[in-house]
Amino acid sequence: MMQVNFLDFSEQYTTIKDEVDIGLKRVFETGSFIMGPDVKDFENSFAQYCECRNGVGVNSGTDALYLALAALDVGVGDEIILPSFTFIATALCVSYTGATPVFVDVEQETYNIDSESFKKAITPKTKAVIPVHIYGQAANMKEICEIAKEHNIKVVEDACQAHGARYEGQRIGSLGDIGCFSFYPTKSLGAFGDGGIVVTDDEEIAEKIQMLRDYGRKGRYDHKVKGYNSRLDTVQAVVLAAKLKYLDEWNQMRADNAAYYNELLAGIKGVKIPLIKDNRTHVFQTYAVRLKERDRICDQMKDKGVGVLIHYPIPLHLQEAYKDAGYKKGDFPVSEQIANETLSLPMYPHITKDKIEFVCDALKSLV
Ligand SMILES: Cc1ncc(COP(=O)(O)O)c(C=O)c1O
């Protein structure tokens, strides 16, 4: 029986293997494992890719978000607005600062933060909003940035799932005040371990994050602020630099695969295929459909040899970790509905057509 894994990056590895081997050999031979020119070069390349002036490598997407908020002096007494339908790290970074995460609902069609709900949640304490470009499609950045500007609120983009996506032609990560990316291995641009980066046009913020990620130092033992140890490893920078050259090509392959899924699944009763809004690209970090009997179908897809996952089964306002915030079931009906209906299908650049056909046949037989 055919088996389709949720992810398979073996062909990606074949593509970059030689370049990675050469780069790693250099790092191992010189013994220069922390910072140095490889990290700097990658930071510059990635910032340029995002059409931003500065890039600061850090050790994860979570830390990218946390250090972005810290650089904006977010702390106790502040409120940060974010969608309830996202990965928990979007909220954890707020909690680390001592500020209060304020959850809002998302759009039915894109699963991204709903701008009306964002507007309604603003109070005099609101310091920033974190739109998440969920699954790889940009949030409604024009409206979000306009509302934020009107209320003097900073926009920190959680771009951890959308490397390379565009909104009205512009790269995500460059639309708000700060863009935050994860290089967790399963991301469209994934390291061989943990990693992340912050991009921004603001020199002052970039400088602050450079200090914060490196013990708060300016000179070797000259510490200006109480910083952290959150740097991007040189080994990871070498891997990421090799992969970055292929990112647009791989994103196009993902988009083609998504189009083939859409073609095969369009019109199947009981399957809602993802919608791409005008003026945006979707880089399909995740290809998710919506199903009424999601849990049954999820189990049966696995029985049929298809690797599927649920991103995400519990919206943040209903997570045990946030029970102290006092939200209840029914507070964000769209987020709750999506959490009950969404199912992620196998998606990676080199997935073959016959594998996509196998997945779609399996799904059709179950709905
Ligand atoms: C939307 C979102 N935000 C934040 C993160 C956190 O990134 P990391 O795992 O690199 O800390 C992730 C991925 O894991 C994510 O998908």
* Domain residue limits, the chain: 10-104+112-244, 247-366
The one-letter amino acid code at 62 reads T
Q: What number is the average pLDDT over the span 149-166?
A: 98
Question: Measured between alpha carbons, how far is 246 from 252 in angstroms, rounded to an integer?
Answer: 10
Q: What number is the average pLDDT over the span 258-274?
A: 97
- Whether residue 294 has pLDDT greater than 90: yes
Pocket test for ligand 1, best of 82, 160, 197 (most atoms within 8 A of CB): 160
- Whether residue 339 has pLDDT greater than 90: yes
Q: What is the pLDDT of residue 127?
A: 98
Ligand 1 atom showing the smallest separation from residue 89 Cα:
4
- Whether residue 1 has pLDDT greater than 90: no
Q: What number is the average pLDDT over the span 189-206?
A: 98
- Whether residue 241 has pLDDT greater than 90: yes
Ligand 1 atom showing the smallest separation from residue 134 Cα:
1
Mean pLDDT over the full length of the chain = 98
Pocket test for ligand 1, best of 60, 62, 163 (most atoms within 8 A of CB): 62
Question: Measured between alpha carbons, how far is 236 from 75 in angstroms, rounded to an integer?
Answer: 31
Q: Is 46 helix (H, G, I), strand (E, B) or coil?
A: helix
Judge whether 68 and 178 are in contact, CB under 8 Å.
yes
pLDDT band at 278 (very low <50, low <70, confident <90, very high): very high
Give percent of the chain above pLDDT 70. Answer: 100
Contact 196 CB / ligand 1 (< 6 Å) = yes
Q: What is the pLDDT of residue 218?
A: 93
Query: Does domain 247-366 bear CATH number 3.90.1150.10?
Result: yes
Contact 86 CB / ligand 1 (< 6 Å) = yes
**Sign of the torsion formed by the C-alpha atoms of 62, 284, 55 and 207:** negative
pTM above 0.95, yes or no: yes
Q: What is the pLDDT of residue 255?
A: 98
Q: What number is the average pLDDT over the span 62-83?
A: 98
Q: What is the pLDDT of residue 329?
A: 98
Please name which of 261, 343, 316 lies closest in space to residue 130, comparing C-alpha atoms: 316
- H/E stretch holding 21: helix 10-30
Residue 62 Cα to ligand 1 middle (Å): 6
Q: What number is the average pLDDT over the span 151-168?
A: 98
Query: Does domain 10-104+112-244 bear CATH number 3.40.30.10?
Result: no
pLDDT band at 23 (very low <50, low <70, confident <90, very high): very high
Q: What is the DSSP letter of 138?
A: -
